[in-house]
């Protein structure tokens, strides 16, 4: 009731109650933070090598609507902070993923077509839950990369932009010299 009336929780609320409230909030969203279309793509990314997997999942987060991206980044940053205190709270990235995955990621598929095409290796909901936990753990451990342009792509974009700038400069110089030649030719005729 406090949150529904835009009030904050008192400081004496037990941390387990706050965690349950967060899980309830995630379950009750009208549209999940990770919609099925994006979730299917992320499932495919999990079949890649470890290094490629992180970059592929990061790129998939760009497919999310803006509000979903912001919420995901905030939530994963929060989970990273919680995991950083795992020596005291026993909630490392894996344990947090176990708790969050069922609330944040779909545990079933709505259509049989998407299940066949997106997850050929998953034969049961248990396997899907296990993969979802791996996805959540990867997101928590790489929260600083989610919804941010990977360095390799950023570097490629910088090189491309510099190349275009050089091409534009050369093109404008060639056009101006061609204009000068036409003018001088028309004056002498």
Question: Which two structure tokens, joined as six digits, stand for 14?
Answer: 């037990």
Quickly name the fold that domain 15-148 has.
Answer: Phosphatidylinositol 3-kinase; Chain A (1.10.555)
Question: Which two structure tokens, joined as six digits, stand for 66?
Answer: 């803006």
Instruction: Give the tens place of pLDDT for each residue, 139-152.
Output: 999 999 888 877 77
pTM of the model: 0.70
Instruction: Give the tens place of pLDDT for each residue, 9-46.
Output: 788 888 898 899 899 999 999 989 999 999 999 999 99
Domain limits, the chain: 15-148, 151-189
Exposed/middle/buried for residue 60 (C-beta within 10 Å: 0-12, 13-18, 19+): buried
The DSSP-derived string for 33-52 is SS-HHHHHHHHHHTTS-HHH
Distance CA 84, CA 80 (A): 6
Distance CA 104, CA 92 (A): 17
């Amino acid at each position: 009731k406090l949150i529904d009336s835009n009030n904050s929780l008192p400081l004496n609320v037990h941390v387990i109650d706050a965690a349950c409230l967060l899980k309830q909030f995630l379950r009750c969203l009208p549209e999940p933070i990770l919609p099925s279309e994006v979730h299917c793509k992320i499932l495919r990314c999990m079949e890649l090598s470890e290094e490629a997997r992180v970059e592929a999942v990061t790129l998939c987060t760009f497919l999310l609507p803006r509000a979903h991206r912001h919420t995901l980044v905030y939530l994963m940053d929060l989970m990273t902070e919680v995991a950083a205190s795992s020596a005291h709270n026993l909630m490392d990235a894996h344990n947090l993923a176990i708790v969050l995955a069922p609330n944040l990621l779909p545990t079933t598929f709505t259509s049989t077509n998407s299940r066949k095409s997106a997850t050929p290796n998953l034969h049961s909901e248990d396997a899907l839950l296990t993969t979802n936990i791996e996805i959540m753990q990867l997101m928590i451990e790489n929260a600083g990369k989610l919804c941010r342009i990977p360095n390799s792509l950023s570097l490629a974009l910088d090189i491309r932009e510099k190349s275009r700038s050089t091409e534009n400069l050369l093109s404008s110089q060639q056009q101006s010299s061609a204009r000068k030649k036409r003018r001088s030719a028309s004056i002498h005729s």
